[in-house]
Amino acid sequence: MKIKNLIAVTLPLLLCSCAVVESKKEDKIMQTKSSEFFKYPDGRSAKLYQLRCADGFGVDISDHGATIIALYTPDRNGKLRNVALSWADPARYINHPIYLGALVGRLANRVSNARFVLDDKVYQLLPNDRKTNSLHGGFGISGRLWQVEKHTDKELVLTLKSLHGDGGFPGTLDITARYTVSDDHKLTLEITAVPDRKTVADFTSHVYLNLNGEGSGDCSDHSIMMKAARRTEVNEMLIPTGNIPEVAGTAYDLQKERNFADIRKDFPNGLDDNYVLQDKCGIYTHAAAVVSAPESGIRLVLSTDRPGIQFYMANCLQNKPGRSGNYVKFGGFCLETQNWPDAVNRPEFPSPVITPEEPYRSCTEWKFETF
């Protein structure tokens, strides 16, 4: 199925019912289509919304940060496994420095020196990475309660208004995130962001995955293949140098399938690098990344219209209290579909600038198969 390049900016309000639905349950718990997830200190409630196909494939998403909390897909034996990592205590999502499952922005990845210039005006952002750079726009959208506009068995639409000056960014932004699931075991995320003036934007899902199931140990048996002949070279602060070297013949080459454990022989702390798919935004790459896990027999085929993928092997997870017990180092991985890092300060990179006439649009698809 072709990727949808356009999604509606205005969507009808459709409140979901709380009817009980029966799923093939890994947790042996009956769930409702929506339920309370946790309470904020001010008394507001964050909710959990369930999307399910007939065979149990589906996802649980919170309106806090438009966050993926669980993702159920069948293994080679037909048993559902939750492959998305999440906190044991939902209240940890209020202040989550590793963005577990969250939708991040206004600018995904790093902005050098937490500043950029737009039309000769300097905008200072909040430095939250190594006390110098901005990372994922701080907690501007990932730490907020979104509005649910529509919820059905297979679709969830959330919106958020980010005001002018939010996190230091110019312009008021109306953001819409649309999650859908389909019977062919595909999860799709479509995002639009319409500004009231010229500004910059880039968003990504920071879902952590383990195709053997969350809490099942590290991902050493996984393998990855990426349709990327280049990467954005970075300095010791993980800020792009401006060089876009070829990966062929280097330890960074993922154009042929490579095992995670083998990658860590070259990179003891794992990779945390942006791989280049395209030279501009909006070009669809089918099967941009393919990850396979022999133990479960689950394969992920990721497709996107973003020009890059940040492949992060999650060395941050050691002793983090997850849903099924403490996570281990390399207990998950992220494939963050995005613009190139620090593009806002690199005019030679794909432009992150958007306007009311040319708003932000993106689409990413996670297709799950067995082998």
CATH classification of the domain holding 258:
2.70.98.10
Quick check: is 224 in a domain?
yes
Q: How many CA atoms lie within 13 A of 177 on its CB side?
A: 30
Q: How many CA atoms lie within 13 A of 277 on its CB side?
A: 28
Quick check: is 23 in a domain?
no
The count of structural domains within the chain is 1
Quick one: pLDDT band at residue 306, thresholds 50, 70, 90?
very high
Residue 96 falls in the annotated catalytic set: no
Domain of 205 in residue numbering reads as: 45-370
CA 285 to chain centre: 17
Quick check: is 141 in a domain?
yes
Residue 22 has pLDDT above 70, yes or no: no
Quick check: is 37 in a domain?
no
Contact indicator for 193, 181 with CB cutoff of 8 Å:
no
Model-level pTM?
Answer: 0.90
What is the C-alpha to C-alpha distance for residues 176 and 162, in angstroms, rounded to an integer?
11
Quick check: is 348 in a domain?
yes
Residue 14 has pLDDT above 70, yes or no: no
| pLDDT single digits (tens) 58-80 | 999 999 999 999 999 999 999 99
| pLDDT single digits (tens) 325-345 | 999 999 999 999 999 999 999
| pLDDT single digits (tens) 101-112 | 999 999 999 999
Marked catalytic residue, from 149, 190, 336, 365: 336
What is the C-alpha to C-alpha distance for residues 257 and 111, in angstroms, rounded to an integer?
31
Marked catalytic residue, from 96, 151, 185, 206: 206
Residue 13 has pLDDT above 80, yes or no: no
Model pLDDT, residue 16: 31
Model pLDDT, residue 131: 86
Handedness of CA 123, 128, 129, 130 (dihedral sign): positive
The 3-state DSSP class for residue 166 equals helix
The 3-state DSSP class for residue 20 equals strand
Residue 336 falls in the annotated catalytic set: yes
Quick check: is 31 in a domain?
no
Quick check: is 13 in a domain?
no
User: Is the bond leading into 231 cis (omega within 30 degrees of zero)?
Assistant: no
Quick one: pLDDT band at residue 224, thresholds 50, 70, 90?
very high
List Cα–Cα distances, 190 to 81, 140, 179, in angstroms.
Answer: 24, 19, 7
Quick check: is 14 in a domain?
no
